[in-house]
A and B are shown apart, each in its own frame.
Chain A
Amino acid sequence: QKEVEQDPGPLSVPEGAIVSLNCTYSNSAFQYFMWYRQYSRKGPELLMYTYSSGNKEDGRFTAQVDKSSKYISLFIRDSQPSDSATYLCAMMGETGTASKLTFGTGTRLQVTL
């Protein structure tokens, strides 16, 4: 069983929809939780990160972490065609660094006009 599970999609939504992307994990040592966005044929770019449990909001994006359930989510409000990409969750422990991230498989999102 992989340490981090993520539905690969693809997920297709109309423009303006609210998108929910999720990951589950099994390693209770994970403390930092990140979402990376990867456009086609590009490298991943950090979108948001959260430490431990709680919510974090940045514009149209909200990241949630529920450590008790080992479940993290990324919500995208008012989705735009430019949000079409693969979204990867990533995690690391308290003593880890971003040089050693554990990634989910990624969810491919398509926002249609």
Chain B
Amino acid sequence: NAGVTQTPKFQVLKTGQSMTLQCAQDMNHEYMSWYRQDPGMGLRLIHYSVGAGITDQGEVPNGYNVSRSTTEDFPLRLLSAAPSQTSVYFCASTPALGRNTEAFFGQGTRLTVV
């Protein structure tokens, strides 16, 4: 049981390049989320999904796209990277049943845009 797996762990992009951050979970959780973590800003929600085929925007969605074609995967796409997107990105999954107060986080992807 690997939990939440994020790839890559590190990435350097040039301004204007595109890339996809991968996130996979093997806990059969319905809910998945993407956060970014910046110094002095804490974790901010980018996009989230409550099930396959259903996504919605969080606090800071601009410049990012997501899709959820399967329960297990929730990729985050940067269409045209900007230096302001330099951050650490965390994917999280949450079970739908029960009190569902616990989000399980991946190890993060450290992205630098130059």
Contacts and interface: CB of A to CB of B under 8 A. Distances in A.
Interface residues of A, number: 26
B43 A88 contact: yes
Contact of A105 (B41, B49, B96, B106): B41
A34 interface: yes
Interface in A44-74: 44-46, 49, 51
Contacts of B106: 43
A41 B43 CA distance: 14
A43 B96 CA distance: 21
B108 A46 contact: no
Most buried by B among A8, A44, A92: A44
A99 B94 contact: yes
Contact of B90 (A43, A46, A92): A43
A3 to B, nearest CB: 10
B101 A100 contact: no
B48 A43 contact: no
A51 B96 CA distance: 17
A49 to B, nearest CB: 5
A24 B52 CA distance: 35
Given A43-B90, A44-B90, A99-B33, A49 B40 contact: no
Given A43-B4, A49-B102, A97-B100, A103 B58 contact: no
Contact of B102 (A51, A88, A98, A102): A98
Contacts of A104: 42
B32 interface: yes
A61 B35 CA distance: 26
Contact of A97 (B43, B96, B105): B96
Given A43-B107, A100-B48, A105 B32 contact: no
A98 B4 contact: no
A100 B43 contact: no
B54 to A, nearest CB: 11
Interface of B: 4, 31-33, 35, 40-45, 48-50, 58, 90, 92, 94, 96, 99-103, 105-108
